[in-house]
Structure 1
Amino acid sequence: MIVWLNVGSLLLGLLAWTLPFVTFRKNQLSLAVMSMGACALSLSFQIFYHHHLVKIGDWSALMDTSGAVAFASAVLIIVTILVNALTLMREKKGVAA
């Protein structure tokens, strides 16, 4: 069951990146909020997974994956913020024109 935290984290991260491109709504702000929420949940799943590894004492798994998880988390946050910002700026230009 714990392995689903990694799968859920990956799926929520992908959702965070794709939600800003959904154009069926007029208000992109709500999609941006949902995207940031998916990003936060994705990162939370990784924190819960690392907590599980600490609880079971799997120190080698922690040492092997902590660097990659930190890097992937930074990329997820940066790309999510950039994609949402670009989408909101595009919407703002469309409204002003």
Structure 2
Amino acid sequence: MAGELENQQVIMGLIINGGNAKSSAFSAIQAAKKGDFLEANAKLKEADDFLSEAHNAQTAMLTQEAQGNHTNVTLLMVHAQDHMMNAITFRDLAGELVDLYRSHQ
């Protein structure tokens, strides 16, 4: 039971941090559109920090799996992974868009 609770906490952390990362990346694009590249860079850094937090939690789960402590894959876990992958992709795209706006200033 304790393992399930820990997994649920990790899964919710992935969802929350993934969502926060995507939101920060979107804010970076909005700042770049206004020409505020200090804010855009800060928001990209913020997105990276959220993704780092999520990655650490994900790595902990992978380590447990590698040690033979298998976790049942639930729809919620798949949803969390989906959030992470979308956040990573969106962060990468946001960095490119900020650079594009910067180059056209």
After TM superposition, the structure 1 = structure 2 runs for residues 38-57 of structure 1, keeping only pairs within 5 Å, are: 38-53=50-65, 57=69
Distance 2:41 2:50 in 1: 14
User: Is 1:82–2:87 an aligned residue pair?
Assistant: no
Report Cα offsets for 1:12-55 as digits up to 9, x if no partner: 1111111133249x311111111112112212211213334555
Q: 2:42 aligns with which of 27, 30, 35?
A: 30
1:13 aligned counterpart, secondary structure: helix
Structure 2: state its 5+ residue gaps. Answer: none
Q: 1:9 aligns with which of 1, 7, 14?
A: 14
Q: Which residue of 2 aligns with 1:18?
A: 23
Percent identity over the alignment is: 9
The count of corresponding residues between Structure 1 and Structure 2 is: 88
How large is the RMSD of aligned CA atoms in angstroms? 3.2
Q: Structure 2 length as normaliser, TM-score?
A: 0.60
Q: Relative contact order: is structure 1 or structure 2 higher (C-alpha 8 Å, sep ≥ 6)? A: 2
Distance 1:5 1:84 in 2: 27
Distance 1:88 1:21 in 2: 14
Q: Structure 1 length as normaliser, TM-score?
A: 0.63
CA contact (8 A) 1:20 1:87 kept: no
